[in-house]
Amino acid sequence: MRTIVFKGGTVIDGTGSPPSLGNVLISGSTIERVGVFEAPVDAEVIDCHGLAVTPGFIDSHSHLDLQVLENRRDKLAQGVTAEVVGNCGFSPYPVPADRSLLYDFANGLFCGGTDWGWPSAKGYLEQAARSTTTTVFSLVGHGSLRIARVGHQLGQLTERDVDWMEQKLSESLEEGACGFSTGLMYSPGASAPFAELERLCRVVARHQKTYATHMRGYGDLLVEAVDEQLQLARRTGCRLQISHLQAVGPRNWNKQAVALEKIENAVAAGLDVAFDCYPYVAGSTVLTQLLPQWALESGIKGLLAKLADGAERKRIAAETDVNLEQGWTNILISALETPANRGLIGQTIAAIASSRGREPVEVAIDLIQEEQGRVNMLEMNQSEANLRQTLTHPLSCIISDGFYVKGRPHPRLYGTFPLLLGEISRERGWLTLAAAVHKITEKPARRFSLPQRGRLEPSYFADVVVFDPGTVNSPASYETPALQPRGIRHVFRNGIAILSQGVPCSSVAN
């Protein structure tokens, strides 16, 4: 068993307490000692003078459900040692008999092929446990659950269908899924009535797990959406985590303070509610999210059939335009598949519209047709003042929400954690280093009940990051996202080095 001392560093233990100079001793996969002590003579020593020593970072809102199985380097290079996947209603299980239904639903975020899918959490978690780079925790996705039972059917389901979903959810939670997620801006989850969500949240509460939600709206409907989720938590007693809280579009920026006040009042009244946010003003998702979600009844195939009908297309275009919260100049194409359109990556819909001589909404719909629905976008959504307010709020965890696309991914996939420690904490001074570390270690571990992770404390897993607080940062930009972070020196997961002297260990990572 290897005994290693991280010696003489600034220890930031994950709890939010002020840093202190000291050592961290790990033995095998466990932390043995933290503080000021003589290093045992037979221990290997990693000199940490001038460096910060922290728990491994936890990305509690990841969409790398499939990529965590491939031991990719992009997360470990940032110091991430554990991830919560299955967010926003998308999980790679339960898989329906007709697998194409699930692929059609989830591949826009999963960036997957046609070779995945598990019957329940058990099979997925078993495979994920073999990852050499990260420890995987998974939420059961509401959209996936619904698709497994009724495909792309919308609206209220029969009693028997909801019974089945309750049963399936309960089974996956028993098998080790850490909670449940909804994606109420994605079809078919968006069509679920409150009563269905209430029944499923009761199952979550019974298992004492976490319910994470991509709410029904973040712009015009932000306040109503928060009310609905608080109502669910109040009626069912489940622990609620509101995903990527923000106010989308200038006309809604003032609503964020209202939403936060509602959440604070709910906490004061005894509800177990918190939220998370990523440290960027831009968001990213599939372009079809801008459409009215009824248009996605019967999935992408159904959508393309509707768009081929002149009258239907007109109706969809009109609704899309009215409901658009952030403006066409703020929406950039980040990924698509046909070679002829590759040059559009990085351009705004407004710019493409003026070069094609078409209305922006028509261009968006043209692209969805040309790409058979497979288009991703980057949206400049938020104000910097609002971002500062959520990042520094005592109830927030900080997350990546990152995912791969066939094109140019959002830089949050490559830079979230070093950016938080560098630009946000050190350079802008929005929060102390100890507070920033807390929001990516102990805080998410508590929200999702991840046992023995998120703190430098004896008996905890030896997930350790060593970084240079003077240089840590991410150079990843919207134009050039796939850049390696700076200043991350060593990363250990379960006592095994996965990044050493700034370089991912080739024995563990692809």
Smallest gap, in angstroms, from Cβ of residue 190 to Zn ion?
A: 12
d(CA 417, CA 283) in angstroms, rounded, equals 16
282 is an interface residue for Zn ion by CB under 5 A: no
Smallest gap, in angstroms, from Cβ of residue 142 to Zn ion?
A: 12
Smallest gap, in angstroms, from Cβ of residue 90 to Zn ion?
A: 9
Sign of CA dihedral 299, 300, 305, 310: positive
Smallest gap, in angstroms, from Cβ of residue 88 to Zn ion?
A: 3
Which helix (H) or strand (E) segment holds residue 7: the answer is strand 3-11
Choose the stretch contacting Zn ion; rule: CB under 5 A; options: 68-76, 208-216, 272-280, 437-445.
Answer: 208-216
Please, which residue, 296 or 462, has the CB nearer to Zn ion?
296
Please, which residue, 183 or 373, has the CB nearer to Zn ion?
183
Please, which residue, 56 or 141, has the CB nearer to Zn ion?
141
295: which DSSP letter? G
Smallest gap, in angstroms, from Cβ of residue 372 to Zn ion?
A: 23
Please, which residue, 142 or 489, has the CB nearer to Zn ion?
142
Choose the stretch contacting Zn ion; rule: CB under 5 A; options: 100-108, 136-144, 206-214, 468-476.
Answer: 206-214
Please, which residue, 225 or 466, has the CB nearer to Zn ion?
225
Please, which residue, 290 or 472, has the CB nearer to Zn ion?
290
Smallest gap, in angstroms, from Cβ of residue 244 to Zn ion?
A: 6
45 to 84: interface string for Zn ion, x by CB under 5 A: ----------------------------------------
Tokens describing residue 269 = 């009244």
Residues of span 214-243 touching Zn ion by CB under 5 A: 214
d(CA 74, CA 26) in angstroms, rounded, equals 25
Choose the stretch contacting Zn ion; rule: CB under 5 A; options: 151-159, 207-215, 347-355, 378-386.
Answer: 207-215
Smallest gap, in angstroms, from Cβ of residue 143 to Zn ion?
A: 11
164 to 183: interface string for Zn ion, x by CB under 5 A: --------------------
3-state secondary structure 44-98: EEEECCCCEEEECEEECCCCCCCHHHHCCCCCHHHCEEEEEECHHHCCCCCCCCC
Q: Which residue has 């679920």 as its token pair?
A: 192
- DSSP characters for 128-142? HTT-SS-EEEEEEEH
Applying CB under 5 A, the site for Zn ion has a residue count of 2
Please, which residue, 110 or 492, has the CB nearer to Zn ion?
110
Smallest gap, in angstroms, from Cβ of residue 401 to Zn ion?
A: 6
Please, which residue, 403 or 461, has the CB nearer to Zn ion?
403
Tokens describing residue 6 = 């991280």
Please, which residue, 73 or 214, has the CB nearer to Zn ion?
214
Which helix (H) or strand (E) segment holds residue 41: the answer is none
**Strands lying side by side in the sheet with 396-398:** 57-59, 80-85, 135-141, 179-183, 210-214, 239-242, 273-277, 396-398
Please, which residue, 88 or 147, has the CB nearer to Zn ion?
88
d(CA 447, CA 464) in angstroms, rounded, equals 20
Please, which residue, 220 or 401, has the CB nearer to Zn ion?
401
Choose the stretch contacting Zn ion; rule: CB under 5 A; options: 119-127, 134-142, 152-160, 213-221.
Answer: 213-221
Q: Which residue has 């070679």 as its token pair?
A: 339
Please, which residue, 6 or 403, has the CB nearer to Zn ion?
403
184 is an interface residue for Zn ion by CB under 5 A: no
Please, which residue, 88 or 331, has the CB nearer to Zn ion?
88
Smallest gap, in angstroms, from Cβ of residue 314 to Zn ion?
A: 29
SS3 461: strand
Helices (H) and strands (E) in the chain, counts: 15, 20
81 to 100: interface string for Zn ion, x by CB under 5 A: -------x------------
d(CA 403, CA 304) in angstroms, rounded, equals 25
Smallest gap, in angstroms, from Cβ of residue 119 to Zn ion?
A: 25
* Whole-number Cα distances in Å, 263 to 14, 21, 223, 446: 24, 37, 10, 18
Choose the stretch contacting Zn ion; rule: CB under 5 A; options: 148-156, 200-208, 212-220, 415-423.
Answer: 212-220
10's CB contacts (< 8 A; 6+ apart) are 19, 20, 21, 48, 51, 52, 53, 469
| Beta bridge mates, 82 | 58, 135
402 neighbors 413 (Cβ within 8 angstroms): yes
d(CA 280, CA 416) in angstroms, rounded, equals 8
503's CB contacts (< 8 A; 6+ apart) are none
Sign of CA dihedral 396, 399, 78, 14: positive
Smallest gap, in angstroms, from Cβ of residue 115 to Zn ion?
A: 25
118 neighbors 124 (Cβ within 8 angstroms): yes
Choose the stretch contacting Zn ion; rule: CB under 5 A; options: 111-119, 209-217, 250-258, 326-334.
Answer: 209-217
440 neighbors 398 (Cβ within 8 angstroms): yes
Smallest gap, in angstroms, from Cβ of residue 255 to Zn ion?
A: 18
Smallest gap, in angstroms, from Cβ of residue 211 to Zn ion?
A: 14
Residues that bind Zn ion (CB under 5 A): 88, 214
